[in-house]
A and B are shown apart, each in its own frame.
Chain A
């Protein structure tokens, strides 16, 4: 098997249940490879363990089984190699926007001079368009601006892997659109490897190179890896004019409405039979396979 930049190998998470001695399997057998510089989104219904996977990648959670290897090193705990943007911005409220970013820069490069740290922090705040608001505390910023500071902070430490857990989930639709485009702009400048969780199909199509689809839990699996075959640069305004847009969108929505449930049922049957749950996601390119008839309920491939 060729080694990618980030290798998620046979990852499983099981929790003890309050009313039974059996463990509850949230997800299992997840095998995913992510290449350097790739933007990958993970979509799935609530409760399928998306955030747990992200927390494992961040080093904030320990999986029951399996491991994650990044750049030939196993992830065993949180580090500056993994930048995280949480849904609830998690800025330190007693620091100004500038100091919040400085805080991260200082953690990353403790030996830098103050002037160099300042210059670096302000460069990233400038990228997210916060030149005028650097001295403000998080409470004096709007929700969108706070999330921008969070983005600047995460990009500023130049992590090997940037993790985002529904970063725009708490924002109104207009702000979300603006920040998505800003995120695209920064990403195209830095070519950061990004792993992002989202609920929003259009957001995933706009941002991602590849969308991972997760079936419902329990026994959730990453069932498909959908290639977003739309040329960059992409903009929200023109995205729906792309030929590939509707096939991709339909495929993703179909999966979320129907496929996730059907496959989840199959996965649970397989688990009841005791099959090896380890699987690699099926690679799908809806833009190219339009001529094919819509496949019926897909088989989950076991490796």
Chain B
């Protein structure tokens, strides 16, 4: 029955994909182009005389996107100068920034969240700051980061750091604070030291909640890196998209959008997998 359901869902998914691609293909089918009359407009001159008008609206057809994607993916790591790098290199830069910012955030958020969760006093004392800092758009920190750090790459990493820290901090504190009293009593009646209690009882008990926070964080970090790289420029998938938009290469833009989705999915799936290891049925 279940496999039957899975099978039907797969079929339905494929049908939706085919319909979507079909509509897209039809909507972007080239019209018969009227022969050029008179002078080229300024826009057409800028666009190379409008010679390469392969579609009616300027949006590339799915076939164009796929052939472009195939070309890019068959040589993802070429490097032909600052404005022409393979998609693999650009994605690697973005992933590197996300993982570094995320790791730094985890290094601070998880121990701090642990302490906050264990101490009702610190919990209350930190709460107003967390509540005010949490809703700030991470990009709002960018000017300050650029001024203080004076390095655009490090500023992007800082922005990732600052947006990753809150979900991990809040979830760790919550997970630690809501460890069941029964389990703490088990630790007490077994005369465990505070450190041992933290590592053998509280950490495993709170681990699923902590990992949920990490999963939220990496999702947000991946959302933010595109915007951050559009601002700081240079390298990365966000810069790539902006650069291709400036080139009016919409096939590359659409291809990059799809790649962002796939990488985001993989980041989330890997943390979901990690969550499985620490999850326990109660």
**Segment at the interface with A among B5-13, B56-64, B189-197, B220-228:** B189-197
Chain B interface residue count, Cβ-Cβ cutoff 8 angstroms? 18
Given known pairs A86-B182, A88-B182, A103-B200, the reply for A93 and B188 (CB within 8 Å) is no
Q: Does A107 contact B (CB under 8 A)?
A: yes
Q: Indicate with 1 or 0, residue by residue over B202-229, a CB within 8 angstroms of chain A CB atoms.
A: 0011010000000000000000000000
| Closest chain B CB from A149 CB (angstroms) | 12
Q: Which of B214-268 contact A (CB under 8 A)?
A: none
CB neighbors of A among B28-46 (8 A): none
Residues of B within 8 A of A86 (CB): 182, 185
Query: Binary interface profile of A, 81-111, with partner B (CB < 8 Å = 1, else 0)?
Result: 0111010101011100000000110011000
Pick from A104, A139, A157: contact of B282, CB below 8 A: A139
CB distance from B61 to the nearest CB of A (A): 52
Asked if A78 and B281 sit within 8 Å, CB to CB, the answer is no
Interface majority SS on B: helix, strand, loop or mixed?
Answer: helix
Instruction: Say whether A94 contacts B280, CB under 8 Å.
Output: yes
A60 and B189 within 8 A (CB): yes
User: What are 29 A-to-B residue pairs whose CB atoms are below 8 Å?
Assistant: A58-B189, A59-B188, A59-B189, A60-B185, A60-B188, A77-B188, A78-B188, A79-B189, A80-B189, A82-B189, A83-B189, A84-B185, A86-B182, A88-B182, A90-B182, A90-B183, A90-B185, A92-B186, A92-B205, A93-B280, A93-B282, A94-B280, A103-B190, A103-B200, A107-B190, A107-B191, A139-B281, A139-B282, A157-B190
A93 to B183 Cα, complex, angstroms = 10
A93 touches B281 (CB 8 A): yes
Instruction: Report the minimal beta-carbon distance from B23 to chain A, rounded to whole angstroms.
Output: 48
Q: How many Å from the CB of A154 to the closest CB on chain B?
A: 9
Residue A266, interface by CB 8 Å: no
Residue-wise, chain B 166-193 has the 8 Å CB interface mask toward A (1 for contact) of 0000000000000000110110111110
Partner of A79, one of B191, B200, B280, B281: B191
Least CB separation from B279: chain A residue: A94
Complex formed: what's the CA distance from A103 to B187 in Å?
A: 10
A84 to B188, CA, bound (A): 11
Residue B201, interface by CB 8 Å? yes
Decide if A251 is an interface residue (CB 8 Å cutoff).
no
B186-A90 in contact (CB<8A):
yes
The reply to whether A78 and B280 form a contact with Cβ atoms under 8 Å apart is: no
Q: Tell me how many residues of A have a C-beta within 8 Å of chain B.
A: 24
- Tell me the smallest distance from the CB of B279 to a CB of chain A, in Å: 8
Q: Is the CB of A78 within 8 A of B204?
A: no
Q: Please give 14 more A-B residue pairs, beta carbons under 8 A apart, in addition to A78-B188, A84-B185.
A: A78-B185, A79-B189, A80-B190, A86-B182, A92-B183, A92-B186, A92-B201, A92-B205, A93-B282, A94-B280, A103-B190, A103-B200, A108-B190, A139-B281
For B188, the closest partner residue in chain A by CB is: A78
Residues of B within 8 A of A82 (CB): 189
Tell me the residues in window 130-179 of chain A with beta carbons closer than 8 Å to chain B beta carbons. Answer: 137, 139-140, 157
* Residue with the greatest number of chain A CB neighbours at <10 A, chosen from B182, B185, B189, B280: B189
Most A C-beta atoms less than 10 A away, residue of B182, B191, B205: B191
- A103 CA / B204 CA spacing, docked (Å): 13
Chain A, range 26-83, C-beta contacts under 8 Å to B: 58-60, 77-80, 82-83
Residue on B nearest A89 in the bound complex, by CB: B182
Q: Give Cα A83 to B207, complex, Å.
A: 27
Which of A92, A139, A140 has most chain B Cβ within 10 Å?
A92
Which chain B positions have C-beta within 8 A of A92? 183, 186, 201, 204-205
Tell me the minimal C-beta distance from B201 to chain A in angstroms: 7
Which residue in chain A gives the minimum CB-CB distance to B182?
A90
- Contact across chains for A78 and B200 when beta carbons are under 8 A apart: no
A94, B182: Cα distance in complex, Å? 14
Contact string against A for B residues 105-119, beta-carbon threshold 8 Å, 1 for contact and 0 otherwise: 000000000000000
Cα(A107)–Cα(B186), bound, Å: 11
Q: Determine whether the beta carbon of B280 is less than 8 Å from that of A84.
A: no
The complex places the Cα of A288 from the Cα of B280 at a distance, in Å, of 54
A83-B182 Cα distance, complex, nearest whole Å = 14
Q: Which of A84, A88, A137, A139 contacts B189 (CB 8 A)?
A: A84
**Known contacts A90-B182, A90-B183, A94-B205; is A80 also within 8 Å of B188 by CB?**
no
